Amino acid sequence: MSSRISRAALLLTCAASIAAVGISPALAADDETVAAAPAPTDGPPQDQPSAGPASQSGQSDKPADTDKGGGTDILSGDTLTLLLDGRLALANGERSFTRRGLGKTRFGGTAGGDYKLYAVPVEADLIWTPRFTDTLSANVSAAWQRNQENAADLIEAFVNWLPPQTGPVGLQVRAGLMWPEISLEHSTGGAWSVVDTITPSAINSWVGEEVKVIGLEGTIRTDIGGSTFGLTGAVFGFDDTSGTLLSFRGWALQDEKATAFGHFKLPPLNPFMTFAQQNETRSLIELDNRPGWYARLDWRAAAPFGAALFYYDNRGNPEKFTLNLQWGWRTRFWNLAFDADLDSRTRLLAQGMTGSTIMGFKRNGVPWVHTHFSSAFVMLSHRLTDKWNVAGRVEAFRTHESGSEMSPLDSEHGWSWTAALKYLLNDHVTLKAEALNVRSTRGVRLTDLGIDPFQAQSVFQFAVQVRL
C-alpha cells in the first residue's frame, strides 16, 4: 500500500509541475517509514550538444522542419513522438551488471566469458511536447526499457518557460522531473537520447542512472564583450540514493536510464552490506526532506568554443534509511565540460568529473561507505556528409574506497575506447554501428566472484533507431 501511495504522490508532483508555472518542486518524504540511525538534432556540428549556454533547453529534439512555430498546441501530431530502438549486439567478458555482475557494459558474454550474440529491442519511448503559449512548453516522456521491471515508466516530466529576451539579460525556468544539464552527449529534449554514439561515456552513463531530480531550475544569460555567459541554479529533491551504484558496482558504460519508479540491481555485497542494504537501489526517492542544490556557470565565446562548470550536492543524510533498506547518500561532485568546433564538420568534446559519496553510520569517525570517484573523456565527432557521421572517444575512470565497512578492494580503475558510425537513412530512421572496449581492475571480482580482478570486455553493436 505504501508503495502505491508513494507512486501516486510522485505522479501528482510531476503533474503539478506540468499544470502550473513557477511552482516549487514537492520535496515531501517518501511514504516508506524512515528511520534515523542530474535540443540537438542529427544535423551539423553546431546543432550538437555544447558546454556553452543553451537557449532551447527542455524543447523536443525533433528535427527542425517539424517545428510549426509558436502558439498553443496541446495535443496534435506535432506534439507526439514515438522512438523505437532495436539492437544486434555481440559481446564477451564477465557477467553484466544488469544480471548482478560486475561487468562494465549492458551486454556480457557467455558463462565462460566468450562472445554471445543478442538480437533484442532495448527501448520504446512516447514523448509528449505540448506548447501552452509562445513561451511555455512541456516535455513528458514515458518509456519501456529492457531490464527495467516496469512495463512502462516515466522518464521526464517538466515544464519549460523561455520568454523572449528583450533586454541585456535572458531568463529560462524549468520545473519537474528532469536531468540537470551535464551531459555533452545527450539531446536535451525527447527521451534524453545519445546523439553520436550508441553508448554514452562512463560519466554520462552514471548521470543517466543516478542524477535525475525533481526540481526547480532557473537560468539567466547575457552577452559581454562578444561572449555569452549563463548562470544556472536549482533546488531539488528525490535524489537521495545517488552514489549507490558508484560505490557497490563502480562505473559502467551503458544507455539504460533511470525512471520514476524503477530500480537498478546491485552486484553481490559483502556480508555486512548484505544485511544493511537492499540488493537493488531505487532511482528516485526522498528520505530526509532536505533539498539538494546544483549550480552551473557556462561561457560561449564568439569563436565556436564553449565551457561549463557544474557543481552538485544532494545534501543527503547518510544515516537515514527506509524499512526496506534504501539509504540516504551524501553525494557531491564537480563537472567541467568543453566543446569546440574545429571546423565546419568536426567537433571536439571533453568532460571531466570528480566527487565523493558517503553512506551509513560512522565507526571510529569513518562512515560505512566513503567513495571518491573521478572520470574524464575526450571525443571527436566528424560529419562526413549530410547523412554520415563518425565519432571516437577515449576515457578513463576510477574510484577509491575508504569506508569502515568496505574493503580497499572495492576500489577500481580502468579505461575504454569507443568508435561509432551513424547514418541518417531518412527523416525517420537512423542507423548506428559501434565498437566498444573497456578494461578495468576491481579487487572484489576475486574475493566475491572468484574471477580475475582485471577484466577486458568488447561489445559490438548495430542499432536501428526509429522516430515516428
pLDDT, residue 269, reads: 96
pLDDT, residue 48, reads: 57
- Summarize the confidence of residues 93-101 as an average pLDDT: 94
pLDDT of residue 10 exceeding 80: no
- Summarize the confidence of residues 376-382 as an average pLDDT: 98
Beta strand extents in 314-345 (DSSP E only): 320-322, 330-341
44: cell is: 551539423
- The residue that leads in pLDDT, 233 or 60, is 233
pLDDT, residue 189, reads: 62
pLDDT of residue 204 exceeding 70: yes
Residue whose grid cell is 545527450: 186
Number of domains in the chain: 1
CA 361 to chain centroid, in Å, comes to 28
pLDDT, residue 49, reads: 63
Find the domain containing 264 and state its range. Answer: 2-467
d(CA 194, CA 266): 24
pLDDT, residue 52, reads: 63
CB 318 within 8 A of CB 36: no
- Summarize the confidence of residues 77-91 as an average pLDDT: 96
Structural Rg of the chain based on CA atoms:
21
pLDDT, residue 5, reads: 42
- Give kind and range of the element (H or E) at residue 208: helix 202-210
pLDDT, residue 67, reads: 41
pLDDT tens, residue by residue, 305-328: 999 999 999 999 999 999 999 999
pLDDT tens, residue by residue, 251-261: 999 999 999 99
pLDDT, residue 119, reads: 98
pLDDT, residue 51, reads: 77
The string of DSSP codes covering 237-303 is ESBTTTTHHHHHT---B------SS-EEE--PPPHHHHHHS-SEEESSB--S---EEEEEEEEE-SS
d(CA 242, CA 327): 10
Residue whose grid cell is 505504501: 2
Q: Give the range among 6-10, 71-75, 109-113, 246-250 with minimum mean pLDDT.
A: 6-10
> What one-letter code names the amino acid at 54?
A
d(CA 54, CA 219): 10
Please give the model's pTM, rounded to 2 decimal places: 0.88
- Give kind and range of the element (H or E) at residue 104: none
For residue 367, the domain's CATH number is 2.40.160.10
Residues in CB range of 77: below 8 A, 6 or more apart: none
d(CA 381, CA 379): 7
- Summarize the confidence of residues 156-183 as an average pLDDT: 96
d(CA 99, CA 83): 26
Return the percentage of the chain with pLDDT > 70, whole number: 85
Report the b/e string of 120-143 with b at 16+ CB within 10 A: eebbbbbbbbbbbeeebbbbbbbb
d(CA 201, CA 438): 11
The Cα-based distances of 387 to 12, 405, 425 in angstroms read 42, 53, 7
Q: What is the mean pLDDT of the chain?
A: 88
Burial degree of 51 (CB within 10 A; 0-12, 13-18, 19+): buried
Q: Band of the pLDDT at 282, cuts 50, 70, 90? A: very high
d(CA 118, CA 275): 35
Burial degree of 73 (CB within 10 A; 0-12, 13-18, 19+): middle
pLDDT of residue 9 exceeding 80: no
> What one-letter code names the amino acid at 126?
L
CB 400 within 8 A of CB 356: no
- Summarize the confidence of residues 365-374 as an average pLDDT: 98
d(CA 259, CA 186): 16
pLDDT, residue 243, reads: 98
DSSP-derived letter for residue 411 is -
DSSP-derived letter for residue 408 is G
- The residue that leads in pLDDT, 3 or 347, is 347
Residues in CB range of 411: below 8 A, 6 or more apart: 398, 399, 400, 401, 442, 443
How many Cα atoms sit within 13 Å of 161 on the Cβ side?
17
Q: Band of the pLDDT at 303, cuts 50, 70, 90? A: confident
Q: Which of 302, 300, 253, 308 is nearest to 459 (CA)?
A: 253
pLDDT tens, residue by residue, 31-54: 344 444 333 334 433 345 677 654
pLDDT, residue 50, reads: 73
d(CA 95, CA 107): 8
